[in-house]
Amino acid sequence: MTNTVTVLARAKVNLCLHVTGRRPGGYHLLDSLVVFPKLGDRVTAEPASSLSLSLAGAFGQELGTEGDNLALRAAALMPGGAALRLEKNLPVAAGIGGGSADAAATLRVLVALNGAALPPMAAILNLGADVPVCLRGRSARMRGIGDVVGDIPPLPPFWCVLVNPGVACPTPAVFRALSQPLNPGLPPLPAAFPDLDALFDYLAGTRNDLETPAQSVRPEVGTVLAALTATNDCALARMSGSGATCFGLYRDKGPALAAADTLRAAHPTWWVAAAPVSDDAGDDEIGEV
């Protein structure tokens, strides 16, 4: 038990996303490699007799504090009250799991604050398909409707640049534009990725099946992908999730920061962020006072 807990709700990036089927109820089946760059929203919890949520950050004004907010919905699954503060640094409805990461971080801070156990996985999954993998917060393979989360070989560290053109890309509209919901899953994973060449070669043989339908909904996605591809030393440019955020992969910090600067200068209205990708927990647990 502690007085204050803060957790970094890392962005979720789908390095690849294969749509492998659709259930009769309409849920699509996925096969995806997911990583968590070292940037995101921040969720803070303090003891309180009732449940409340305050919003801050660059994108905080785009959220409501009503009960449909994912952080509040997650908190409602836990016993006791808390004063929650969500610093919203990630774009909303952007394909990088912002809401799901916030829900997962809320569960984590309340476990630390109140000593309660996590709710059942069925309740967690009901918050959203990405919440289980965001609760894990480390590189993983996500399958099914998001309910099957498994280990992958350790990934060599690298850098990514995330870019959002400032438009929402509604997930239902993207899936409706998907012409073929039955596609092959990921190629067999190797026992290890000895270096970045091996990782980038593997990713080159994968895809995001939602990328083309997303561009039909939001042509800006294609513009972002072209801009990322044109930056120096970009090993791969791809869309994350159902968009509209796209990413470029880089071997080192220098080229990633240079690419981010180039993109900001050319497109000042875009949201651009550069961050390392590593499974080192780093400052996920920001602190307990």
State the Cα–Cα distance between residues 150 and 171, nearest whole angstrom: 24
Check if 195 is active-site.
no
Total number of residues shown for the chain: 289
State the Cα–Cα distance between residues 35 and 28, nearest whole angstrom: 21
Q: Among 12, 31, 41, 209, which one carries the catalytic annotation?
A: 12
**Strand ranges for the chain from DSSP E:** 5-10, 13-22, 28-35, 40-46, 51-56, 82-87, 140-144, 148-150, 158-164, 236-239, 246-250, 271-277, 285-288
State the Cα–Cα distance between residues 50 and 80, nearest whole angstrom: 7
Angle 154-155-157 (CA atoms, 0-180°, nearest 5)? 130
Q: Among 31, 41, 102, 130, which one carries the catalytic annotation?
A: 130
Check if 284 is active-site.
no
Among 55, 64, 209, 71, residue whose Cα is nearest residue 131: 71
State the Cα–Cα distance between residues 191 and 135, nearest whole angstrom: 25
Yes or no: say if 153 and 193 are a contact pair by the CB < 8 Å rule: yes
Per-residue tokens: 253: 């910090």
Catalytic (active-site) positions: 12, 130
